[in-house]
Chain A
C-alpha cells in the first residue's frame, strides 16, 4: 500500500480544489485521522492486518473478466471488467470500510457513524463494524430508506442502527449533513467513516489510499492478459471513490486516457441531473472546494439519477482537479443510456451490474465506438446489481405495479 503516488499539499489541496472547509470543532478530529493514517500507512503490522482482511475476508484480488460478447456492442473494442462486484458485500466499498474500521480501533474509538445513499456504503460499514466489534449508526435519507428498504433490513441484520433523515431533500446529501452533526457532538469516541473520496481533508486522500489496490491489481492483470496497458480506463462518478480507486494507479501512465462517467439523469442540460462536473460550477460543499450543482446564490440544487448511489450534487476534489488539468475526461451518461448498458451486460455476459456501474458501461460503449476494435478499455464494474433488481424490474416493465410477475 505504500506506493509512490501524487499527494495533495499538506492542507489537502488538489490544485485549487479540496482543502478543509469544516467547523473548527472538527479540526482536531480531522488532524487525528490524518496523523493516525500517516502512521498506520507505514506500520507493517497494520498493513498486514489490512491485507489479510482484503484477501481472506473481502476476497481480493478481484477478477479481471474480458467481456467478449459485450464488446460487439462497444465498437469491437476489447472490454476488460474489473470485478469489484465479486467482493464481499458486493462492491468496491469494502476496501475503504475495512481500512477505516481498523483505523477506528487504532485511534481507540468504539463507535462508527456513516452516511449512505443507496445503502452500499451503509451495508459495508455495518459489515466491518460487526466483524470488528464496533458500535455502528448509519444515517440514510428517508427517501432512500424507502427506495432501498432491503438494504435497511440488511444493515439492521448486521447490528447497525439505521436512522432515517427527515430534513432537507431527505437524500444522501442530507444524510451527510446529519452524520457531521452527530460527529461534532460525539467526536471523543466516534469516527465518521466517510464513504467516498470527498469531504474535508484527509478524507479524499484516505479513501483513495484505501482503494488504491483496485487500480494496482487491474493494471497488473491487464498487462498479463493483453501484454500492454489499456487505452482507456473508465468508471462511474458520483462522489468518485470507485473512479479514483481505478484511476489512481494509472495517473502516471500518461498514454492511458481516464474517463469518468457522471450520472446525466434525464440529461446534463436539464435540471434532472447529477453531473456535477459537466453541469456544476466550482464551490464549497461538504468540507471541500469542488464542482457543485448550485444556483447563482450558492444554494445546492437537487440532483437526480436513476442510481441512488450517484445521486449526489458534488464530486470528490481530486476529480475536480483531474478535470481542470485535463488529465481525466468527464462525460455524462443518461439514465436511459445506463439502463441500456445494464440490460446488455445482463444479456450478453450473464452479469447483473449495479446501476451505478452501468453508467461506466454506457460510457464504455460510446468510447469503444470512438476508439474502435484495436482498442482496450478497462471498466470498473464497481458493484453488483442485486440491490437494483426492483428499480430495473420497474424500468423494464418486468413486473406489474404491485411488483408481481
Chain B
C-alpha cells in the first residue's frame, strides 16, 4: 500500500501504463516567489513529481546550467526554510514534492529537524546525490520517523552488490544515473542507461521498486525512449535552461509549461 504521495504518484503512472515525469528546479531560482511559479507551470504542463533543489555552494555533481541556477538562487538569499516554502507550494499543486540536496546542508540544519520540517511542509522524500547507504544511518532513522521516502542513486559503475545494497535502502524510487557524468543536456541518451535499468530490475524484482532515470534527458523523444524501459523520467537542466533563456519570467513560464507538455507526451508514448 502506498504511504507517501510519491508512492501514490508512481503507482498511478504504473497503473496507467506510462512512465512518471519528474521535473527538477532549484528553490529560489531565480528567486523564491518566481521559483514557486515555475514549479506550478511544470505541474500544469504535466510533471507528476517535482524535485525541489536545495541550492548549495559546492554542487560537485552538477554541470554548468544547474550550477548557474543554484548560484542565482543563493545570490537571491534562498535558505532551507525557503526550500520548505517551495515544497509546501509544490505539494499544494497536487504533485509529489521531493527535495534534492547535497548532504551538508541537511546535516548542518539538523537531520531530524530537517526531516520534520520537510514532512510538515508536505514533502514526500529526499534525493541525496552524495550520500551512500553506508553513511546514512542517521538519515535512515530520521526519514523513517518522519515518514519520508529515501532516494539514493545507482550508476553505470555500480557493482551488482551495490545495486542490491542501494535499492534495498531506497523507497519511492531509485534514481538511476543514465551515464557517468554530471547533470546537463546531452544530444543522445547514453546507451549505459538501458543496461543499468535492466541490471537494477534484476535486484528489485521482488520489491518492484520503481526505477527513474535522470541525467542528460532534455527532449520529448529522449523521454519516450527512456519511458520504454523505466518507471520515470527525470528532467532538470532543460527546465533551468528555459528560465535562463527567457527575457522575463512570464515568457519563461510559457516555455517551461510547453516543455513539460512535450515531455509529458513523451512519457505517454511508450
Q: Do A and B come from one complex?
A: yes
A interface list, Cβ under 8 A from B = 11, 19-29, 167-168, 173-174, 177, 180-181, 184-188, 281, 283-287, 292, 294, 296-300
A-B contact pairs, 30 of them (CB 8 A): A19-B134, A19-B135, A20-B134, A21-B132, A23-B61, A23-B155, A23-B177, A24-B152, A24-B157, A24-B162, A24-B166, A25-B155, A25-B177, A28-B157, A28-B159, A174-B58, A181-B60, A181-B181, A181-B182, A184-B61, A187-B180, A281-B108, A283-B104, A285-B58, A286-B58, A287-B130, A294-B104, A297-B80, A298-B104, A298-B105
**B64 interface residue, CB < 8 Å from A?**
yes
Chain A: CB-nearest residue to B158: A24
Q: Which 4 pairs of residues, A with B, have the shortest CB-CB distance?
A: A298-B108, A25-B155, A298-B105, A185-B181
Task: Give the secondary structure class of A's interface.
Answer: mixed
Q: With A24-B155, A284-B103 as given contacts, are A299 and B132 in contact (CB-CB < 8 Å)?
A: no
C-alpha gap A303/B104 in the complex (Å) = 18
Interface size on B (CB < 8 Å)?
40
Inter-subunit contact B104/A22 (CB<8 Å): no
1/0 per position for B74-114, CB-CB distance to A under 8 A? 10000110000000000000000000000111111100000
Which listed residue, B108, B132, B153, B182, touches A185 by the CB 8 Å rule? B182
| A174 proximity list for chain B (CB < 8 A) | 58
**Nearest CB of A to B83, in Å:** 10
Chain B: CB-nearest residue to A185: B181
**Nearest CB of B to A215, in Å:** 30
C-alpha gap A180/B45 in the complex (Å) = 35
C-alpha gap A283/B56 in the complex (Å) = 13
Chain B: CB-nearest residue to A167: B67
| A292 proximity list for chain B (CB < 8 A) | 104
C-alpha gap A25/B159 in the complex (Å) = 10
**Nearest CB of B to A26, in Å:** 8
Inter-subunit contact A298/B107 (CB<8 Å): yes
Inter-subunit contact B105/A299 (CB<8 Å): yes
Inter-subunit contact A168/B58 (CB<8 Å): yes
Chain A: CB-nearest residue to B154: A24
**Nearest CB of A to B175, in Å:** 9
Known: A20-B135, A297-B105. 4 other contacts (CB 8 A): A24-B155, A180-B60, A181-B181, A188-B180
| B154 proximity list for chain A (CB < 8 A) | 24
Inter-subunit contact A173/B58 (CB<8 Å): yes
C-alpha gap A29/B157 in the complex (Å) = 8
Chain A: CB-nearest residue to B177: A25
Q: With A185-B182, A298-B109 as given contacts, are A24 and B58 in contact (CB-CB < 8 Å)?
A: no
Which listed residue, A177, A188, A281, A283, touches B59 by the CB 8 Å rule? A177
C-alpha gap A88/B236 in the complex (Å) = 47
Inter-subunit contact A177/B58 (CB<8 Å): yes
| A286 proximity list for chain B (CB < 8 A) | 58, 60
**B147 interface residue, CB < 8 Å from A?**
no
Inter-subunit contact B130/A299 (CB<8 Å): no
C-alpha gap A188/B180 in the complex (Å) = 10
C-alpha gap A365/B79 in the complex (Å) = 43
**B63 interface residue, CB < 8 Å from A?**
yes
Inter-subunit contact B104/A23 (CB<8 Å): no
C-alpha gap A181/B106 in the complex (Å) = 22
Inter-subunit contact A300/B79 (CB<8 Å): no
| A181 proximity list for chain B (CB < 8 A) | 60-61, 63, 181-182
1/0 per position for B132-159, CB-CB distance to A under 8 A? 1011000000000000000011111111
Inter-subunit contact B108/A296 (CB<8 Å): yes
Chain A: CB-nearest residue to B166: A24
C-alpha gap A296/B109 in the complex (Å) = 7
Which listed residue, B64, B134, B162, B181, touches A184 by the CB 8 Å rule? B181
Inter-subunit contact A299/B56 (CB<8 Å): yes
**Nearest CB of A to B180, in Å:** 6
Q: Which of B192-237 contact A (CB under 8 A)?
A: none
Inter-subunit contact A300/B57 (CB<8 Å): yes
C-alpha gap A187/B106 in the complex (Å) = 28
Q: With A168-B57, A297-B108 as given contacts, are A21 and B131 in contact (CB-CB < 8 Å)?
A: yes
**B265 interface residue, CB < 8 Å from A?**
no
Which listed residue, A22, A26, A296, A300, touches B58 by the CB 8 Å rule? A300
| A285 proximity list for chain B (CB < 8 A) | 58, 104
Chain B: CB-nearest residue to A29: B157
C-alpha gap A180/B134 in the complex (Å) = 21
C-alpha gap A231/B108 in the complex (Å) = 38
C-alpha gap A317/B229 in the complex (Å) = 42
**Residue among B59, B60, B63, B103 with max Cβ neighbours from chain A (10 Å):** B60
C-alpha gap A23/B61 in the complex (Å) = 8
**Nearest CB of B to A315, in Å:** 15
Chain A: CB-nearest residue to B82: A297
Chain A: CB-nearest residue to B183: A181
C-alpha gap A186/B162 in the complex (Å) = 21
**B117 interface residue, CB < 8 Å from A?**
no
| A177 proximity list for chain B (CB < 8 A) | 58-60
| A173 proximity list for chain B (CB < 8 A) | 58
C-alpha gap A11/B136 in the complex (Å) = 13
C-alpha gap A284/B67 in the complex (Å) = 19
1/0 per position for B152-190, CB-CB distance to A under 8 A? 111111110010001000000000010011100000000
Inter-subunit contact B162/A27 (CB<8 Å): yes
Inter-subunit contact A25/B180 (CB<8 Å): yes
C-alpha gap A284/B106 in the complex (Å) = 10
Q: Which of B117-134 contact A (CB under 8 A)?
A: 129-132, 134
C-alpha gap A27/B156 in the complex (Å) = 11
C-alpha gap A179/B238 in the complex (Å) = 24
Chain A: CB-nearest residue to B61: A23
Inter-subunit contact A23/B129 (CB<8 Å): yes
